[in-house]
Structures are given as C-alpha cells and as structure tokens.
Amino acid sequence: MIGIIDYGMGNLRSVSNAFRSLGYDALIASSPDELDGADKVVLPGVGAFARAIDELRKSGWADRIYDVIASGRPLIGICLGMQLLFETSYENGAHRGLGVFPGLVRRIPDGAGPDGRKLKIPQVGWNRIDIRTKSDILDTSGDTYVYFVHSYYADTDPEYVSSTASYGTDITASVERGSVYGVQFHPEKSGSQGLEILRKFAALGGRAS
C-alpha cells in the first residue's frame, strides 16, 4: 500500500488518484500512526517551505519520516516535498529542513532563456529532464517531459542528482539516495511519462493490488 502524508499542504487527491489509476492501493494518512501499514510513502507538498516544515515537526510527521527511512521503506518527496528533504531552504529567510539530503534550496536566478527572453519565475509548465545517472524510477530510454510549478530548487551534491532540467541554469529535477527519492516536478500532472515514474516507485519491493 502507498501511504500519502497529509500535513495540510499537499496535492493529495491527484497523487492518490494517479496511484489508484495504476492499480495500487493508496491511503491518505492524516496521522503518523496511519502509515504503519504502508510499504511505500509519499511526501507531497504545495506552498511555503517554512509553514510546511513547521507542520511536519509539530504534528509528529518529521519523526515518522525518519522512522520510514530508517526502516528502508521507499519514500518519495514531490515538489515542495522534495525540498523539505534538504538541509536548509532560503525561501523567505533561512529555514532548517529534514536534512535527509545535503544541500540548500535556493530561488531560481533571474535570467534569460535560450531565445533571449526573460524567464518567468515561477517556472510553470512542461520541461525536458536530462538523466544524469542510473535511476530506479526514471525512464532512461528517451526524452522525458514533465510538469513543473516552482520558484525554488535544490542545490546539492551531484552524487545524488538523477536528473536536471534547464531553466536559465541547471535545475535539480530529481534526486535519489538509498530508498529515498525526490522529484521537483509533479509526476501526477505529467501524463503517461509521469505515471510511469509513479508506477516504478510503487513497484519497488511491491506489486499492484
């Protein structure tokens, strides 16, 4: 079963519906104890980093996330959920994250795209990702286009970066470390290629119901 963490700041229904469309049971967990039966866990996120990390800590979710990781159960952070896995975010001040991945969350720098036009921030829309290393969940057989909505990105050790996207600079599009994964884009909004990423994640050590 896929456990989706509900801490009040996630795109829960669309993530849940995406897994169910693939044939997997998905539970939206409103308390840490509800994750006991989940063999894979999703940390979604939409909104501001400071409020999100505060909600995770005061509700007990942060400790449960560490427990999930320590147990070896696969966990994936989506969009803000990925950013929360890093050490520090500089979104509206400096805020300490969960520290699962080393690195900082920074604002996308102002700049120009390949056509010379000023880039819009946030990045909203489809972009191609470039695969950087062997991945458990990404399709490395051809071009992959996914849907982004974000103003900040993770600046981390290349060792953990499984893909990047170009948006004025190289944006960390996905990371992997052991059984922990993160995607800056929204696979649940990325058509068949996004669903394939979720399918590969759900299939890690498990099977469809």
Q: Which residues are catalytic?
A: 79, 186, 188
Do the beta carbons of residue 51 and residue 95 sit within 8 Å?
A: no
CA 45 – CA 63 distance, rounded (Å): 17
Residue in the structure block whose two tokens are 């801490």:
7
Expressed in angstroms, the distance from the first to the final Cα of the chain is 8
